[in-house]
Amino acid sequence: VTLPGWKKTKLTYRIVNYTPDMSKEDVDNAIQKALKVWSTVTPLIFTRIHEGIADIMIAFGTKAHGHCPRYFDGPLGVLAHAFPPGNGFGGDAHFDEDEDWTTGSAGFNLFLVAAHEFGHALGLSHSNDQRALMFPNYAYVSPSEFPLSPDDISGVQSIYGSQPNAPDKRPATPTSPKTCDSQMSFDAITTLRREVIFLKGRHLWRVYPDNSQVELELISTFWPNLPSSIQAAYENTKDQILFFKGNKFWVISGYQVLPGYPKNISTLGFPKGVKKIDAAVCNKNTGKTDFFVGDKYWRYDENSQSMETGYPRRTVDDFPGIRQKVDAVFQQKGFFYFFHGSKQWEFDPTTKKVIREIKRNSWFNC
């Protein structure tokens, strides 16, 4: 749903005050970057002013603040609000100072929340598309990724049109990773029955090695509750996939996240010092899962559901040739495929030998 937009494309904004949570420079950058999200896909140009009334007045406040007809509610709950284009409060965006504003994934990322509120300031209502920036609930997405979904773009372009000098006049779509990009690295890789799933940021590729078919999807298309930038994933012996990010993990069966997840990785038997998992693979022949963290690995018995004693061990001791941190690993037809940076190694767990080094994107028919 969109409301009448601004009748001009040159808009001004003013940062009225600052949050003590972040440096002024970080706040300035977050606000500027958040406005750029919208100017990238529309003819809009945003200019900062330091005095007087701007079209978009940006301020931090708590509970009842100034003459604003809405109030904030302390930590969590409502994070910010904004008003549609117009005079007075029109176009203004307010941020709840009782929240923890940050530039990263901790607390609430000011850039992401500001980009959402500026969508309202330009005339957009909330979207019920969970992948959209204009979805009402906060969801962290790596700021390096383009946060607008096709839904956001079509909404704002229905008000202002597209960016006049966009090269091919098509509505700008979120940049999705290029499959054969030589710089492409993967966050995690897992099998799922006969297919292999490669994860990167918000996207995943489904590869069918038998007929070399490749499909690119958004992770949220299958599992809306999963975060982006998953760090490790593996298929266990019960037709389930486990996804890891930070100290949390989710168990997925089909399309469902099993109830009670995410759980803390300490419930698997990791010591408190382990903060995240780099990669994991379940050896279907032994029913044992290897978790790789830095230059070490732990072994988990899927049958007894417990971590084996005598771990961690150094990875290179049991996987000769695999010297570096493991970015991702999966098993296919008995062999393990280890990924680090731009390299991939095919490893035979029976003879404990690296068979060959292959190009990282060998699975994609590049």
Partner 1 sequence: LPVHPENYNNEEDEKLVEDYLNKFYAVEPDPNQLGWKINAESTAEKLQKMQKFFGLKVTGKPDSETLEMMKKPRCGVPDVGLYG
Q: Which residues bind partner 1 (CB under 8 A)?
A: 3, 70, 72, 76-84, 86, 90, 96, 99, 108, 113, 116-117, 120, 125-126, 128, 130, 136-138
Cis peptide bond prior to 171, omega within 30° of 0: no
**Residue 67: count of CB within 10 angstroms of its CB:** 7
- Is 244 within 8 Å of 232 (Cβ atoms)? yes
For partner 1, the closer CB: 38 or 300: 38
For partner 1, the closer CB: 89 or 335: 89
Structure tokens at 143: 């700021």
Pairing of strands 241-245, 248-253: antiparallel
Burial class of residue 90 in the structure, from the number of CB atoms within 10 Å of its CB (0-12 exposed, 13-18 middle, 19+ buried): middle
Structure tokens at 132: 């959209």
Q: What is the DSSP string of 283-330?
A: ETTTTEEEEEETTEEEEEETTTTEEPTT--EEHHHHSTT--SPPSEEE
Rounded to a whole number of angstroms, the minimum distance from the CB of residue 88 to partner 1 is 10
Rounded to a whole number of angstroms, the minimum distance from the CB of residue 255 to partner 1 is 13
Rounded to a whole number of angstroms, the minimum distance from the CB of residue 141 to partner 1 is 15
Structure tokens at 113: 């929340």
For partner 1, the closer CB: 6 or 297: 6
Structure tokens at 81: 């609000």
Rounded to a whole number of angstroms, the minimum distance from the CB of residue 321 to partner 1 is 46
For partner 1, the closer CB: 96 or 327: 96
Q: With the C-alpha atoms ordered 42, 48, 52, 56, is the resulting torsion angle positive or negative?
A: positive
DSSP for residue 27: H
Report the distance separating Cα 213 and Cα 104, nearest Å: 36
Point out the residues that are catalytic.
Answer: 117
| Residue tagged 């931090």 (tokens) | 60
Rounded to a whole number of angstroms, the minimum distance from the CB of residue 127 to partner 1 is 10
For partner 1, the closer CB: 108 or 363: 108
Rounded to a whole number of angstroms, the minimum distance from the CB of residue 128 to partner 1 is 5
Pairing of strands 56-61, 93-96: parallel
Distances from the Cα of 209 to the Cα of 4, 61, 88, 261, 352, angstroms: 50, 55, 60, 31, 24
For partner 1, the closer CB: 61 or 143: 61
